[in-house]
Amino acid sequence: MSGLVLLRAARSALPAALRRHLRTAAPRPAFAKELFLGRLRKEEVFPYPEINNEELEEINQFVGPIEKFFNEEVDSKKIDQDAKIPPETLKGLKDLGLFGMQIPEEYGGLGLSNTMYARLGEITSLDGSIAVTLAAHQAIGLKGILIAGTDEQKAKYLPKLASGEHIAAFCLTEPGSGSDAASIQTRATLSEDGKYFLLNGSKVWISNGGLANIFTVFARTEIVDKDGTLKDKITAFIVERDFGGVTHGKPEDKLGIRGSNTCEVHFENTKVPIENVIGEVGGGFKIAMNILNSGRFSMGSASAGMIKKLIEMTAEYACTRKQFNKKLSEFGLIQEKFSFMAVKAYVMESMAYLTAGMMDRPGFPDCSVEAAMVKVFSSEGAWTCVSEALQILGGLGYMKDYPYERYLRDTRILLIFEGTNEILRLYIALTGMQYAGKILTEKIKEIKKGNVGVALEEFLSKFQDMMGRKVDYGLVGERGVVHPSLEASGKKLEENIHYFGTSVKGLLSRFGKTIVDEQLVLKRVADIVINLYAMTAAISRASRSISIGLRNHDHEVLLTNIFCTEAYFKNNYAIAQLEKYADENLDDSIKKAAKQVLEKRTYICSHPLDRTF
Ligand SMILES: Cc1cc2nc3c(=O)[nH]c(=O)nc-3n(C[C@H](O)[C@H](O)[C@H](O)COP(=O)(O)OP(=O)(O)OC[C@H]3O[C@@H](n4cnc5c(N)ncnc54)[C@H](O)[C@@H]3O)c2cc1C
């Protein structure tokens, strides 16, 4: 009996009510956007989300066999060296059901919730190539069918995708269109009889491009707009390799995740039946963004899983290797690295499971900003932690006999794909600023209309700020939701949120709509709000842990307090940088220096050995 059959059997013994389906109800705003208004919707994030005992039991049934498989059957060194995942490893992954983690059971998948998917991501991330192959297949490759496909499309495609008999790929990027996804040139032209589209164009860097049988392809289509004019809009298609005219290039020779297949995919007069349009003709861009938004949160648990493994590996080394007659673990600078890795792992794990928990709530809240924050925080955290882990090993860390250099190479991609961190910072900041701007404009309108209540509220708020207010959102104190041992962190968070809101208000009135061009400002805004969300997640989780007496809860409190204190001071500095005339604000100088370099397209300082004669 295969692993998948065993897991399914265990699962079907559970009450049907416990089985989850991907929720597709209308989105509603979630927690993060409110932070831009200086508001804390604590009911959204306290208490920290929990799963019930049955769900925990269920997920643990998956965890054991998958961990065993990764420990015993996956040879990551060989996958990296051969730049290929061996067929028997792929078969093992399929047998475990890992190609259909979030596909509903009625289509042969495991039907996991976002939380459960995040949990398994901690294990599958132990091999970067496998993690990317699985994510390209289900987090993006087949996700369009799941979230926007018709019942017929689901019934036709999902069963073979769930079993892994078919592999999926997501085809958006083109040579001239990377971050600017709306500028793609691949074209789909409707046939005269209106029965199919002819697809022509080339996609680049498509994960699973050489393995896939099913492609989600984004192409331009001509549509008649509401006003009767012809417009070019993007449409999403399900394309089978068997439709003909589908070819792919040779696998790219990459820095990392070398075992994952990345290649060009070409479509030449590929006949795609109209039944294979996903969603509406012309509605493809939104689908692409929804697909990407829905998968990003899982990078948090995946990165945390990897860092936890690195901590285990390097701690063993640090506690045995001796220099200067002392163990490495006795040196403060080595200890600092372990504290750093533990804090990062704890916070990204907290953010990931908070976001997954929010996404699993009925009503399917719009968590795209939260998910983007998890992605930015965890990708950068993973990259710095791997570098620190390698450093603990010194020269050995640099050698191919050890896995650290591979982890380093594999991790670098996290900052680039699924939306680059630059684009995501802009997305996070602009989405929140737009939300805040809309509500503040409404307020101003109300004040202009003579709404005394709103005017008074604004006046009092400004007055309290001037007088050095005591910020209180009710996180701490008698009826607070934060455990007393985290009181100082809770207060820091409250203060940061309040002054962040004030800062956003100031920026909106200073820049108005031109804020979209102020990228350095937006970056700082994004960095602050990412820290606020990270602080919230850690405080909420640690409060739960200490309240229910989880093992080592004191350690969680310690990590949370370290993180919150550092984040608080960083936030204060960033808030100061957002002030137009503050000494901390170096934006004009930074832009000027960059301009001088870019004008000459070179480093322009004289050499230190140059002299005037
Ligand atoms: C290994 C790998 C696997 C991939 N898998 C897939 C896949 O399966 N499917 C798919 O469709 N694509 C895939 N991609 C493509 C990936 O999504 C793109 O590389 C990514 O979107 C960035 O596009 P680009 O590389 O063209 O960079 P560009 O868009 O050219 O950006 C270059 C740099 O400029 C920055 N930048 C761009 N625009 C702005 C702006 N407005 N403001 C500030 N900075 C900006 C970027 O952040 C980046 O740092 C993959 C890429 C790689 C490397």
pLDDT in tens, 444-479: 777 777 777 777 777 777 767 766 667 889 999 888
Closest CA to 383 of 351, 426, 353, 413: 413
- pLDDT at 110 exceeding the cut of 50: yes
Atom 4 (ligand 1): residue with closest C-alpha? 205
Per-residue confidence (pLDDT) for residue 11, from 0 to 100: 52
Ligand 1, atom nearest to 173 Cα: 11
Ligand 1 contacts CB of residue 260 (under 6 A)? no
Q: How far is CA 492 from CA 146, 245, 500, in A?
A: 41, 59, 12
Per-residue confidence (pLDDT) for residue 141, from 0 to 100: 98
Per-residue confidence (pLDDT) for residue 466, from 0 to 100: 67
CA-CA distance, 193 to 133, in Å (whole number)? 38
Ligand 1 contacts CB of residue 427 (under 6 A)? no
Ligand 1 midpoint to CA 427 (Å): 14
Closest CA to 556 of 475, 491, 481, 486: 486
Ligand 1 midpoint to CA 290 (Å): 17
Listed in sequence order, the residues at least 6 apart from 15 whose beta carbon sits closer than 8 Å to its beta carbon are 54
Q: How confident is the model at residue 19 (pLDDT cuts 50, 70, 90)?
A: very low
Predicted structure pTM score? 0.94
Helix (H) or strand (E) holding 203, with range, is strand 196-207
Mean pLDDT for 532-554 is 98
Ligand 1, atom nearest to 136 Cα: 8
Phi, psi of 108 (to 5 degrees): 95, 5
Mean pLDDT for 539-565 is 98
Atom 52 (ligand 1): residue with closest C-alpha? 205
CB-based contact 540:564 (threshold 8 Å): no
Ligand 1 contacts CB of residue 136 (under 6 A)? yes
Ligand 1 midpoint to CA 236 (Å): 19
CA-CA distance, 315 to 497, in Å (whole number)? 36
Per-residue confidence (pLDDT) for residue 226, from 0 to 100: 82
Lowest mean per-residue pLDDT among 138-152, 429-443, 463-477: 463-477
**Tokens, residue 257:** 């995740």
Which residues are bridge partners to 79 per DSSP? none
Active site residues: 418
Q: Percent of the chain scored above 70 by pLDDT?
A: 94
What digits encode the pLDDT tens for the residues 376-398?
999 999 999 999 999 999 999 99
Atom 16 (ligand 1): residue with closest C-alpha? 417
Ligand 1 contacts CB of residue 205 (under 6 A)? yes
Atom 27 (ligand 1): residue with closest C-alpha? 178
Ligand 1, atom nearest to 422 Cα: 47
Lowest mean per-residue pLDDT among 393-397, 402-406, 432-436, 475-479: 475-479
Q: Is 263 exposed, middle or buried (0-12, 13-18, 19+ CB in 10 A)?
A: buried
Ligand 1 contacts CB of residue 262 (under 6 A)? yes
Ligand 1 contacts CB of residue 277 (under 6 A)? no
- pLDDT at 1 exceeding the cut of 50: no
Atom 35 (ligand 1): residue with closest C-alpha? 422
Long-range contacts of 516-520 (CB under 8 A, 24+ apart): 516/430, 519/426, 520/587, 520/590, 520/591
Ligand 1, atom nearest to 208 Cα: 8
Ligand 1 midpoint to CA 421 (Å): 10
Mean pLDDT for 148-153 is 98
Amino acid at 289: M
Neighbours of 91 (CB within 10 A): 12
- pLDDT at 144 exceeding the cut of 60: yes
Per-residue confidence (pLDDT) for residue 23, from 0 to 100: 44
Which one is predicted more confidently, 344 or 11? 344
Longest alpha-carbon distance in the chain:
88
Ligand 1 midpoint to CA 174 (Å): 10
Per-residue confidence (pLDDT) for residue 241, from 0 to 100: 98
- pLDDT at 25 exceeding the cut of 60: no
Ligand 1, atom nearest to 169 Cα: 8
Ligand 1 contacts CB of residue 454 (under 6 A)? no
Q: Percent of the chain scored above 90 by pLDDT?
A: 86
How many residues does the structure list for the chain?
A: 613
Ligand 1 midpoint to CA 419 (Å): 7
CA-CA distance, 299 to 280, in Å (whole number)? 29
Q: What is the CA radius of gyration of the chain?
A: 26
Ligand 1 contacts CB of residue 118 (under 6 A)? no
Ligand 1 contacts CB of residue 81 (under 6 A)? no
State the DSSP code for 274: G
Per-residue confidence (pLDDT) for residue 468, from 0 to 100: 67
Ligand 1 midpoint to CA 258 (Å): 18
Which one is predicted more confidently, 181 or 23? 181
Q: How confident is the model at residue 80 (pLDDT cuts 50, 70, 90)?
A: very high
- pLDDT at 506 exceeding the cut of 60: yes
Per-residue confidence (pLDDT) for residue 22, from 0 to 100: 44
Task: Give exposure, 148-171, as e/b (b: 16+ Cβ within 10 Å).
Answer: bbeeebbebbbbbbbbbebbbbbb
Q: How confident is the model at residue 14 (pLDDT cuts 50, 70, 90)?
A: very low
**Tokens, residue 481:** 């939701």
Bond preceding residue 47 cis, omega within 30 of 0: yes
Per-residue confidence (pLDDT) for residue 157, from 0 to 100: 98
Mean residue pLDDT of the chain comes to 93
Residue for token pair 């990345």 = 262
Lowest mean per-residue pLDDT among 13-17, 54-58, 330-334: 13-17
Lowest mean per-residue pLDDT among 9-13, 79-83, 171-175, 246-250: 9-13
- pLDDT at 26 exceeding the cut of 80: no
- pLDDT at 224 exceeding the cut of 90: no
